[in-house]
Structure 1
Amino acid sequence: CKIVPFLENASHHCSVLTLLAIGFERYYAICHPLRQPVSSRISSASIMIPAVWVLSCVVSAPFAILSNIKVSRYYDDTLVDTCRTDMSSNISRSYIVFISVGFLALPLLLLTVLYSAIIRTLRSSTTTALDN
């Protein structure tokens, strides 16, 4: 019961962080192409991938602590074991707010800003190329 919520959330967080890493990489490649040489991009990827997984696992660790098996009644009054995440304390609620902001709202805002800058750069370079 404890491993499933942990793995679900770790993979979700890893996906979000990977999308952010790709967004930043595209931003630097398109908006600032001369800022980093190619060799450093390859080495940064070899650092970024494990860092994304480690951070995802660390942030998801509380789900392994907060999840427990609870006995629940099914609709026909049969008892079933269900895996529940305890959200009764203020700390667990604060953690959920942190996860919601840090892995939903903030990445959405960052990706919107990054891709808006990319679109602006591509449009201005297309206009410049057509003028020449």
Structure 2
Amino acid sequence: MVITVDKLSETPLYLQLRAQVIAGIAAGELRPGDPLPSVRSLAEDLGINLHTVNKAYATLRDEGYVIMLGRRGAYVADAPADPAAGMDEAALDEELGRLAVEFKASGGTRAAFVEAALRAASDLPEGA
């Protein structure tokens, strides 16, 4: 899996990294037990501060997507045994509602929002 960042984006770099790792997990490109690049090597490869990568990994750890094994690095965590440990439908509804409001406020239409949501969902692997 190739990880990239857009240094000109308004999205903080650590959130870009977080989103790409989660997308890799969702797409099956990253499986439980797979190692992530070391903080130092990923920071060097991307030309960003190692604290930025560390913050992304710590966020992913706190959310249960990765486990940190000290100097041995970061690894994709096992899927939670309890599906409720992840985002539940109420949280999803809340997040989609927030996104819909922001999209509308920026001039988007309901139809365009629904179309974008359907495109995003169609990228999920079967059974997800």
Question: When you count strand as a share of all residues, which structure comes out higher?
Answer: 1
Specify the TM-score bucket, using the shorter chain as the normaliser. Answer: under 0.3
Higher-RCO chain (CA-CA 8 Å, sequence separation at least 6)? 1
Normalized against structure 2, the TM-score is what?
Answer: 0.25
**Greater helix fraction, Structure 1 or Structure 2:** 1
Bigger Rg, structure 1 or 2: 1
